[in-house]
């Protein structure tokens, strides 16, 4: 696999206390850019439902959507590990469906691992997928596929019983064999405890700096998606503004006849032209 990031790289980074960087991508061009910038892992997140497809949440995302976008991302990536989300209901209907759908993302989508949401409720599915030779990344805390159960996107693990359940679920997933766990919207001191308890890496999103790595939705951190602005997002570039400014200049130049000039046009031999005039 050359210098491709793998599950072993993740573990080595945790052991060496080197932070793991992960971002989402959903298409060839953006995945290639993130990979060339040196990101460790690319998550083809089911957040594509919102940022690529304009849905209100992730529950409408299908296996077909995930496969389509995973294939595109995998074509653009040489170095980063590509992890693909198992969408809502693709692993909740039993072990057979879970293994089959995880297999599709690996065999046809060319992902290296899958991610799924939940703890004790999905541990049998996690074990079965790993038994089939597919690395699994867990996802605890705010699990967006359960948005209707939560009644929104609030911080998780704030009560003692919720916090204990998170700690137990993290341990359970580690024992089941996951190679890493995403912790989403969890108080940072709780995420720190979970990260210290585990021998596998935690990847935080809204879970503070004590996690072993960080993930953000790339359209959020590049200032492109504004329908929701969670507190945990930091904008590292204002690409949305740049796109709008670029498009506005293009509109103006086309309307005013400034673009295209001969610099962006093709020539034809004068003799040929005479024959058609
Ligand atoms: O779907 C997604 O993008 C995710 C990340 C936010 C962790 O699951």
- Interval 61-82: pLDDT, tens: 999 999 999 999 999 999 999 9
Q: Round to whole Å and give the CA distance between 255 and 190.
A: 56
Closest CA to 211 of 8, 2, 22: 22
Joined together, the tokens standing for residue 74 give 């995998």
Whether residue 201 has its Cβ less than 6 Å from ligand 1: no
For residue 2, the model assigns a pLDDT of 54
| Residue 232, helix vs strand vs coil | coil
Distance from Cα 219 to the centre of ligand 1, integer Å? 12
Whether residue 145 has its Cβ less than 6 Å from ligand 1: no
Chain-centre distance for alpha carbon 60: 16
Whether residue 122 has its Cβ less than 6 Å from ligand 1: no
* 179-200 mean pLDDT: 98
For residue 67, the model assigns a pLDDT of 98
Distance from Cα 44 to the centre of ligand 1, integer Å? 8
Q: Round to whole Å and give the CA distance between 65 and 104.
A: 12
Least confident of 1-5, 153-157, 164-168: 1-5
Joined together, the tokens standing for residue 266 give 């093709």
* 261-270 mean pLDDT: 97
* 197-223 mean pLDDT: 98
Whether residue 180 has its Cβ less than 6 Å from ligand 1: no
> Cβ distance 215 to 233 under 8 Å?
no
* 148-169 mean pLDDT: 95
Protein residue with its CA nearest to atom 1 in ligand 1: 45
For residue 174, the model assigns a pLDDT of 98
> Cβ distance 99 to 84 under 8 Å?
no
Distance from Cα 112 to the centre of ligand 1, integer Å? 16
> Cβ distance 218 to 52 under 8 Å?
no
Q: Give just the sign of the alpha carbon dihedral 253, 256, 260, 263.
A: negative
| Residue 108, helix vs strand vs coil | coil
Ligand 1 atom closest to the CA of 182, numbered from 1: 7
Q: Round to whole Å and give the CA distance between 261 and 222.
A: 32
Closest CA to 115 of 131, 134, 98, 138: 138
Whether residue 47 has its Cβ less than 6 Å from ligand 1: yes
pLDDT band at 277 (very low <50, low <70, confident <90, very high): confident
For residue 26, the model assigns a pLDDT of 98
Protein residue with its CA nearest to atom 3 in ligand 1: 45
Chain-centre distance for alpha carbon 189: 24
Pocket test for ligand 1, best of 45, 83, 141 (most atoms within 8 A of CB): 45
Protein residue with its CA nearest to atom 2 in ligand 1: 45
* 269-274 mean pLDDT: 96
* Strands (E) located in 117-243: 136-141, 180-184, 202-205, 213-216
pLDDT at residue 256 above 60?
Answer: yes
Q: What percent of the chain has pLDDT over 90?
A: 97
Closest CA to 77 of 25, 118, 124, 114: 25
- Computed over every residue of the chain, the mean pLDDT equals 97
Say whether pTM exceeds 0.85. Answer: yes
Distance from Cα 47 to the centre of ligand 1, integer Å? 6
Burial (Cβ within 10 Å: 0-12, 13-18, ≥19) of residue 97: middle
């Amino acid at each position: 696999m050359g210098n491709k990031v793998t599950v072993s790289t993740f573990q080595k980074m945790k052991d060496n206390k080197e932070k793991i960087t992960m971002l989402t991508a959903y298409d060839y061009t953006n995945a290639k850019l993130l990979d060339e910038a040196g990101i460790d892992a690319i998550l083809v997140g089911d957040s594509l439902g919102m940022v690529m497809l304009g849905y209100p949440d992730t529950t409408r995302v299908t296996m077909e959507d995930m496969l389509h976008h995973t294939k595109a991302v995998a074509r653009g990536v040489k170095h980063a590990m590509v992890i693909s989300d198992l969408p809502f209901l693709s692993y909740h209907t039993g072990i057979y469906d879970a293994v089959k759908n995880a297999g599709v993302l690996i065999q046809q989508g060319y992902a290296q691992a899958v991610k799924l949401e939940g703890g004790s409720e999905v541990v049998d599915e996690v074990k079965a997928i790993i038994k089939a030779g597919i690395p699994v990344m867990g996802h605890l805390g705010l699990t967006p596929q359960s948005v209707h159960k939560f009644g929104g996107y609030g911080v998780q693990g704030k009560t003692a019983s919720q916090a204990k359940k998170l700690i137990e679920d993290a341990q359970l997933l580690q024992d089941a064999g996951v190679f890493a766990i995403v912790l989403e919207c969890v108080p940072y001191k709780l995420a720190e405890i979970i990260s210290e308890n585990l021998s596998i890496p935690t990847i935080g999103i809204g879970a503070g700096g004590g996690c072993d790595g960080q993930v953000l939705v790339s359209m959020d951190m590049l200032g492109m998606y504004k329908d929701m602005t969670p507190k945990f997002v930091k904008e590292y570039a204002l690409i949305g503004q740049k796109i709008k400014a670029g498009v506005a200049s293009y509109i103006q130049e086309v309307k005013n006849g400034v673009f295209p000039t001969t610099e962006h046009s093709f020539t034809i031999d004068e003799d040929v032209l005479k024959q058609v005039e």
